[in-house]
């Protein structure tokens, strides 16, 4: 007699959880899909069995011995959200160990190394003297010497005024250029100070988060039940 379709689907789902991983591995591997991150963490995989250092942190080496993919947990408990997987027979870089949820009688959990996933141009116009340089005095038009002298004096005063006006304009332009340059420098200084403060605030937040995560033992954890130690593992602080 044919089994109902729903029964077949239920049996298939159960076999995927329990049969593929091996005895007891479903406790470490299973997890609700809603808790899975949008992007899985990628853990460091050592080339050999020797301990080493990654980003200033020492690590020991272990080997995954589960029959199926071993789930990485955010905290040392199978009830924590899944943050990735490590495959059977792969080597893993172990930072330290803590006691957590007991899996098949083993309450040791390993913290794994995770791989880490930035003018206004000064007007060059030169003042040009638009005045005519005429110093001639011609008395052939019937002008007397006094009138010619008056015209010359007026011209000299006009030339002097023009030179003063040009100098005043140039002084104003120079002052405006200096002011504009100072304003730009002030804006750049304020921006640099703000950027530096933002960087410092971001670094402070990251440091506080790292400290909080270390205190709460958050990261990429696997149960020691399905990991074979190839080197001694230190306890976490």
pLDDT digits (tens, 9 = 90+) for 37-84: 445 788 889 988 888 888 888 899 999 999 999 999 999 999 999 999
Q: How many residues are there in the chain? A: 237
Answer with the residue of higher pLDDT: 216 or 169: 169
Q: Which residue has the tokens 């007397």?
A: 144
Q: How many CA atoms lie within 13 A of 143 on its CB side?
A: 13
Sign of CA dihedral 61, 114, 68, 47: negative
pTM here is 0.47
According to DSSP, residue 101 is labeled E
Whose CA is closest to 47, among 97, 95, 90?
90
Q: What are the tokens at 174?
A: 């120079």
């Amino acid at each position: 007699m044919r089994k109902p379709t729903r029964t077949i689907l239920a049996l298939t789902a159960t076999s995927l959880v329990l049969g593929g991983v091996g005895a007891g591995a479903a406790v470490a591997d299973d997890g609700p899909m809603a808790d899975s991150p949008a992007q899985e963490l990628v853990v460091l995989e050592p080339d050999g069995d020797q301990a080493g250092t990654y980003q200033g942190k020492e690590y020991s080496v272990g080997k995954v011995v589960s029959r199926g993919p071993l789930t990485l947990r955010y905290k040392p408990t199978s009830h924590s959200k899944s943050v990735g997987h490590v495959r059977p027979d792969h080597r893993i870089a172990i930072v330290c160990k803590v006691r957590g949820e007991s899996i098949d009688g083993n309450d040791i959990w390993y913290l794994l190394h995770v791989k880490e996933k930035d003018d206004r141009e000064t007007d060059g116009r030169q003042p040009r003297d638009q005045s005519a340089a005429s110093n001639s005095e011609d008395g052939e038009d019937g002008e007397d010497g006094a009138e010619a002298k008056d015209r010359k004096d007026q011209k000299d005063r006009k030339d002097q005024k023009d030179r003063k006006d040009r100098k005043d304009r140039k002084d104003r332009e120079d002052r405006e250029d200096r002011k504009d340059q100072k304003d730009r420098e002030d804006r750049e200084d304020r921006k640099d100070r703000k950027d530096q403060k933002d960087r410092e605030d971001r670094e402070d937040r990251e440091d506080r988060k790292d400290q909080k995560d270390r205190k709460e033992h958050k990261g990429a954890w696997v149960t020691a039940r399905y990991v074979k130690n190839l080197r001694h593992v230190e306890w976490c602080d």
